[in-house]
A and B are shown apart, each in its own frame.
Chain A
Amino acid sequence: MKASLSRRDFLQAGVLTLLGTAGAAVIHRASGEAQAPPVHQMDHGDSAMAMAVGEVDHTKNGFNPTDIVADFDYGKASTLENGQTLREYNIYTINKDIEVVPGIVYPAWTYNGRIPGPTIRCTEGDLIRIHFRNGSSHPHSMHFHGIHTAQMDGVPGTPGVINPGESFTYEFEAKPFGLHLYHCHAAPLARHIAKGLYGAFIIDPKEGRSTVDREFVMVMSGFDIDFDDENDFYAVNAIPFHYQLHPIQIKVGEKVRIYLVNILEFDLINSFHLHANFFHYYPTGTSLTPSEYTDIIMQTQAQRGILEFSYKYPGSYMFHAHNTEFAELGWTGNFEVVS
């Protein structure tokens, strides 16, 4: 802050010779309460915490994180002659202006008009057929984390990266079971991911996982609003502070499973911390035995894992990145545990 200095540098910041006799009267630093500004009606300071002002227009955005958190897309299922289950999905990319933070519209690139894209869910061994169309103005692809042929990898040099207006069908057998993800792999990669082209990909084990009462999917990401290759806002399921504004409702004793994916661009790591509780963690979901019992896990980009827990006591419990900077820039939510 370079404020004006007098012509004689009369006002030398740092000259701390205090005024003697005349001083007390001449320089008076007022104390006590500031006058209340005209339209100042915020909460008391003690409850002050990081929070965006206002709320995004979910209707205009075309999606709501409250729905996305429990939205699993099993596709159109049918049985093939050999008894194998075929799951077909229709996915398209489209440029879309999305109000990612209240008041700020971001020129996003999306799968099916939402961020994150649809959570594709199937069972190990299913035949996956994805009818992919590019309705955007850039070449795009779907690059799945999983086991498949090079032809189906969706990277430059393979048929899976398609131009605007074109379409392609990805087909592969779902394996291995676990929690995976998909994202665009067109170049430049970082920008294509950061603009919103990512989603979760869940392959359930044939024998299934243990029964739980609630299942949620959470995709951790951020938005670089001013395109300086640094994130300005962070969130799970795209919209900062959404689950702080609209806590996820669960009941005491309910078994909860979270499919947690990190696709955060530009920052090296992301994390998930659960308040007043511990969870079992299944890295990549590829084993049915948890590797850790903890209240915090760390993931780098594209790392993912499954969390299982239940709450003993009713109340409001935070969950957030324990990279606290991310937390205060939007990656914070609440579970509202009711008895």
Chain B
Amino acid sequence: MAERTVTANGRKHRNWSIGVLLVLPLVILSGVIVLFLTTGGGLELTSPSPVEALTIERVRLFPNKIEITARNVGPEDLTIAQVIINNAVWPYITSNGATIPRMRAATIYLDYHWSYGEAYAIRLFTSNGIPFDVTIPWAFETPELGAKTLLSFTLIGLYVGVIPVYLGLFWFPALRQLGRRWMIFLLAVTAGLLIFLGLDTLTEALEQAVAMPSPLQGNGLIGIGAIGTFLLLDVISKRQTTSGRSEASQRLSLAYMIAIGIGLHNLGEGLAIGAAYNVGEIALGAFLVVGFIIQNITEGLGIIAPVLRDRPGISHLALMGLIGGAPAIIGSWIGGFSPSPALAVLFLAIGAGAVFEVVYEIAKLIRKDAAYETAPMMVFSGIMTGMLILWITGLLIK
């Protein structure tokens, strides 16, 4: 009894010292910070020149009006002093005064008789006399956001996400009849599709990260979004495996995870579509929409691949279709009404992470399957088929 007390005390004592040792470096660090802030640590800390950075987030054209939204991504506040458009100093008004605090955005409004199809070069001069240029290579009226645009976004999301995914699900009854080797093949096709989508999503995220303000560190954001999602889904899947649920239930979970991965991917796609619509860079042809439907139909196929041998209820299928497709609509709303490169990059990264994790899960499922040993070529040809399907259908819409 006495011994136990001593041990407990000793442990308590050790916890204390660990706590002190953990905190000590932080105390020293704060001392160093205070010292540095008060003395400058011997460094000349004031910049000899004004450092200014301005990111043009969007330019919108309305009849006789031009609106420029710009974000101050420099280290200090920035003041817009004058605006020159096509070599004419032009009156303007800013949304929140002329000074833009760090990381904040402001909108500049110009009354200007612009003409359709002409080009405009706008120069913003800051109070330090530093010019920032905005070009409008081809002027046309910016589509206005309203109920009609919302409907447009919804329809785009339907065509791009929901309809193709559900169309893919309709293969379910037919594919159930396949032999186990062919089911392995289908799983491999799904993995191939997802690898292709994942690469595509990652590339898109990297491209968009370039357009992000540098303080937001786009590439780091991609790492956080992608790796974090991958590991989180891995944890969830491992918990399910160890919880002793039936294999069928685990396969259903995988189908749901594929749906989530595809859904996140479609969300990122919707964001990009909405944002592009906003800047007027959208030009959809009927041919393009058809191409999209054909390409995305494979997404529905992917969702059902793991559960072909089971009997999931129709409600499960409907729900999975919704999870996979509907985020395209939500994404296009967000992208259209509040375009943010940072948000788009984050969602694309999350989508990429989710898609790759699902590929990993499929790989595990295939390995576990007894039929795998007898059909290694099925995996190779399946993955190649999946990737080629997307590559070839991609030719339609590139």
A152 to B366, CA, bound (A): 96
B residues engaging A (CB < 8 A)? 56, 58-59, 62-65, 67, 79-84, 87-95, 98, 107, 109, 111-113, 125, 127-131, 134-137, 140-141, 143-146, 148-149, 151-152, 155-156, 159, 200-201, 203-204, 207-208, 211, 268-269, 272-273, 275-277, 279, 281-289, 292, 295, 341, 344, 348, 394, 397-398
A28-B148 in contact given A11-B276, A19-B289, A329-B84 (Cβ < 8 Å) = yes
**Are B273 and A39 within 8 A (Cβ)?**
no
Contacts of A23 in B (CB 8 A): 284, 286
Contacts of A51 in B (CB 8 A): 89-91
A5-B276 in contact given A28-B149, A232-B84 (Cβ < 8 Å) = yes
CB distance from B276 to the nearest CB of A (A): 4
Partner of B152, one of A1, A6, A26: A26
**Are B288 and A17 within 8 A (Cβ)?**
yes
CB distance from B313 to the nearest CB of A (A): 32
CB distance from B120 to the nearest CB of A (A): 10
**Are B285 and A15 within 8 A (Cβ)?**
yes
Chain B binding site: helix, strand, loop or mixed by DSSP?
mixed
User: Quick one: CB contact mask for A32-47 with B, threshold 8 Å, 1 for yes?
Assistant: 1111011111110100
Residue in A closest to B335 when the chains form the complex, CB atoms: A4
A8-B111 in contact given A104-B129, A232-B84 (Cβ < 8 Å) = no
Interface magnitude class on chain A: 35 or more
A residues engaging B (CB < 8 A)? 1-23, 25-35, 37-43, 45, 48, 50-53, 101-106, 225-226, 232-233, 240-241, 325, 328-330
Contacts of A50 in B (CB 8 A): 88-90
Partner of A240, one of B89, B107, B135: B89
Residue in B closest to A10 when the chains form the complex, CB atoms: B273
Residue in B closest to A45 when the chains form the complex, CB atoms: B64
Residue in A closest to B160 when the chains form the complex, CB atoms: A10
Partner of B67, one of A14, A37, A45, A101: A37
Contacts of A45 in B (CB 8 A): 64, 111, 113
Contacts of B201 in A (CB 8 A): 7
A1-B59 in contact given A30-B149, A42-B93 (Cβ < 8 Å) = yes
**Are B285 and A40 within 8 A (Cβ)?**
no
**Are A6 and B273 within 8 A (Cβ)?**
yes
A30-B95 in contact given A7-B204, A12-B283, A25-B151 (Cβ < 8 Å) = no
Partner of A28, one of B152, B272, B281: B152
Contacts of A13 in B (CB 8 A): 281, 283
CB distance from A72 to the nearest CB of B (A): 30
Contacts of A52 in B (CB 8 A): 82, 89, 91
**Are B281 and A103 within 8 A (Cβ)?**
no
Top 9 closest A-B pairs, CB basis?
A: A17-B285, A34-B62, A103-B81, A30-B144, A328-B88, A7-B204, A11-B276, A225-B129, A50-B88
Residue in B closest to A326 when the chains form the complex, CB atoms: B87
A329 to B83, CA, bound (A): 10
Contacts of A20 in B (CB 8 A): 286
**Are B285 and A10 within 8 A (Cβ)?**
no
Most buried by A among B56, B58, B144: B144
**Are A4 and B275 within 8 A (Cβ)?**
yes
Residue in B closest to A7 when the chains form the complex, CB atoms: B204
Contacts of B141 in A (CB 8 A): 29-31
A330 to B125, CA, bound (A): 15
